[in-house]
Amino acid sequence: MTAEPILTISGLNVDYGTGPTGVHALRDVDLTLHRGEVLGLAGESGSGKSTLAYAVTRLLSPPGVITGGDVHYHRPGAGPVDILSLSPDALRAFRWQELSIVFQGAMNSLNPVHTVHSQLTDVLKAHRPAMRSAERTARAEELLTLVGISRDRLTAYPHQLSGGMRQRVMIAMALALEPEIVIMDEPTTALDVVMQRQILRQLVRLREQLSFSVVFITHDISLLIEFSDRIAIMYGGRIVEQAGASEIYRDPRHPYSEGLLHSFPALHGPRRELTGIPGTPPHLSAMPAGCAFHPRCGKAHDPCADQIPVLARPEAGQDREVACWLHTRPA
């Protein structure tokens, strides 16, 4: 990857709750999204992948607290902006204009009492105050057409749309201001398989058309291998491995990545044996010492139980990182 970075996350820490009852949800997360790239974020539920997505724009609901780190947005042709230090007004202006989100479960993402029209245009009203009402409507129609919905659905209420249509409306909404970054949080999980494929194909097409960068979050790693350029794998609130999609597929270095790959059938290519990962992910309030994965890891050895591995390049010169004592020597 030689492209310039557009979003850099460094040392991000997030807690749920403060004081003695608080638990650590994200620990020292470093991640870079490059311009025009699709970055996949994979992990089991509770691994912190959604927490990471929402923390970036400070959307975590109470009792979430960002306790450390930086998130920098590199505006094209301008210096980096520290998102975590923005004032509420500046943050509002940043949101959706530069970074939009397609939320998990479009069922509840649309407000049941407002029409599609009003939910598509209020974002224009907020960010493009100079736009006239007719222009906003025209833009909303254009957006619906873009995602393959007929423009007469503009006056519909969410309950009058099917699940797939609602998710398309959410995608149209996310593209309304042509943002630089779109975060997609399990955008197709709630849909049936046929609809998933359709929407993914549409996303690929839209991305080629509008060239935004994507952070794609899912627990379905086989989906990511097909769809993304680079993949970061999370476990227990940390990134345990990140590399190009094909490298992860061919040669996963972290035992957890390997386990994940063997938990889902590949969409294309030769069949593999599905083995899954023994045990269940740890609870945030009871994180094992050392490498969080070691109790479930078949390859756990001496340092794993009491020393936390750091993300590092397994071999010099390679553009991939892994946090595992199989690949780095303990200090």
**Residue 64 C-beta: closest distance to another protein, Å:** 5
Q: Select the span of 19-27, 253-261, 273-281, 283-291 touching another protein (CB under 8 A).
A: 19-27
| Binding of residue 285 to another protein (CB under 8 A) | no
Instruction: Please classify residue 129 by burial: count the beta carbons closer than 10 Å to its beta carbon, then call 0-12 exposed, 13-18 middle and 19+ buried.
Output: exposed
Q: Does 84 bind another protein (CB under 8 A)?
A: yes
> Can you tell me which of 75, 114, 205, 301 binds another protein, judged by CB under 8 A?
114
CA–CA gap between residue 292 and residue 98 (Å, rounded): 34
Q: Nearest Cα to 32, choosing from 70, 85, 79?
A: 70
Q: Is 209 in the site for another protein (CB under 8 A)?
A: no
The answer to whether residue 308 forms part of the interface with another protein (CB under 8 A) is no
- Least distance from C-beta 28 to another protein, angstroms? 13
55 part of the interface to another protein, by CB under 8 A: yes
| Angle of helix 163-174 versus helix 193-210 axis, rounded to 10 | 20
CA dist 190 and 167 (Å) reads 9
Interaction between residue 94 and another protein (CB under 8 A): yes
**Residues 324 and 309: beta-carbon distance below 8 Å:** yes
**Residue 317 CB, nearest approach to another protein (Å):** 34
Cα dihedral across residues 50, 56, 61, 62: positive or negative:
positive
14/38 with CB nearer another protein: 14
Angle between helix 163-174 and 133-146 (nearest 10)? 120
Report the distance separating Cα 155 and Cα 129, nearest Å: 22
In the complex, the smallest distance separating the C-beta of residue 167 from another protein, rounded to whole angstroms, is: 13
Identify whether the C-beta of residue 117 lies closer than 8 Å to the C-beta of residue 137. yes
Q: Does 92 bind another protein (CB under 8 A)?
A: yes
* Phi, psi of 240, rounded to the nearest 5 degrees: -100, -20
Residue 81 sits in the site that holds another protein (CB under 8 A): no
Q: Which of 1, 45, 63, 133 binds another protein (CB under 8 A)?
A: 63
# of chain residues touching another protein (CB under 8 A):
52
Task: Choose among 182, 198, 254, 179: nearest CA to 221.
Answer: 254
Q: Quote the strand ranges of 120-221, DSSP E.
A: 181-185, 213-218
Q: According to CB under 8 A, which one of 28, 35, 54, 313 is a site residue for another protein? A: 54
Tell whether omega for the bond before 187 is within 30 degrees of 0, i.e. cis.
no
246 binds another protein (CB under 8 A): no
Q: Which residues between 141 and 180 bind another protein (CB under 8 A)?
A: 157, 159-160, 170, 173
CA dist., res. 225 & res. 4, Å (int): 22
CB of 40 to another protein, least distance (A): 21
Give the integer Cα–Cα distance in Å for 183 and 134. 29
Q: How far is the CB of 160 from another protein (least distance, A)?
A: 7
Q: Which residues contact 288 (CB under 8 A, 6 or more apart)?
A: 236, 282, 294, 295, 305
Among 97, 189, 202, 263, binds another protein (CB under 8 A): 97
The answer to whether residue 293 forms part of the interface with another protein (CB under 8 A) is: no
Among 5, 35, 37, 66, binds another protein (CB under 8 A): 66
- Asked if 109 touches another protein (CB under 8 A), the answer is yes
Establish if 131 lies at the interface with another protein (CB under 8 A). no
127 part of the interface to another protein, by CB under 8 A: yes
Interface ranges with another protein (CB under 8 A): 17-22, 54-55, 57-69, 84-85, 88, 91-97, 100-101, 103, 105, 108-115, 122-123, 126-127, 157, 159-160, 170, 173
